[in-house]
Amino acid sequence: MKPTNNVQLTGRNVQEIVYFNALAITDAANHDSGSPPYRDVSTIGGKKMLIAYNTTDQAITLNLLTSPISGSGALQVGQTFSLPSGQSKTITSADIRELGEPINRLGVRLKAGVAPTTGSVSVWLEGVQQ
């Protein structure tokens, strides 16, 4: 019997969600990823990874946000992560446990301890679409 080539590839797509695209922070205030800050991440199953690139001259703290079930305000989830000046970082569930948990909506809050005078910050999330 002649062999046939009937192999089908049914791969899954990596999804990318941009939270901050080169935000040049000039103060020490909170900066949320929009208003409301949340993006729908319900289509990303399992582990998620944040990638952040901080070219500013100051360290920046990063917090994950979600919306409370009451629908009002923002709710911080997980621990604070520090982005050193002039460095790129990958942030996984090893750093913030909640990145490995199922969740519907995620946002990001950035804050500089001291107002940066140069550079910017980019943050995006990657995960495998269900």
Partner 1 sequence: MPNETQQAVDWALTQTYTDSLGDTYPITKDTAQALVDAVRQYFNEHQINYNTFSYNDLLPYLS
Q: Which residues bind to partner 1, rule: CB under 8 A?
A: 20-27, 31, 53, 55, 88, 117-120, 122
> Judged by CB, which is closer to partner 1: 14, or 22?
22
Nearer to partner 1, 54 or 66 (CB): 54
Peptide bond into 36 cis (omega under 30): yes
**Count of C-beta atoms within a 10 Å radius of residue 17:** 19
Least Å distance, CB 64 to partner 1, is 20
Could you tell me the two tokens for 55? 């070219």
Q: How far is the CB of 61 from partner 1 (least distance, A)?
A: 16
Residue with structure tokens 């000039």? 26
Least distance CB 7 / partner 1 (angstroms): 37
CB-CB contact of 114 with 28 (8 Å)? yes
Instruction: Output the six-digit token pair for 66.
Output: 């979600």
Q: Which is nearer to partner 1, 19 or 78 (CB)?
A: 19
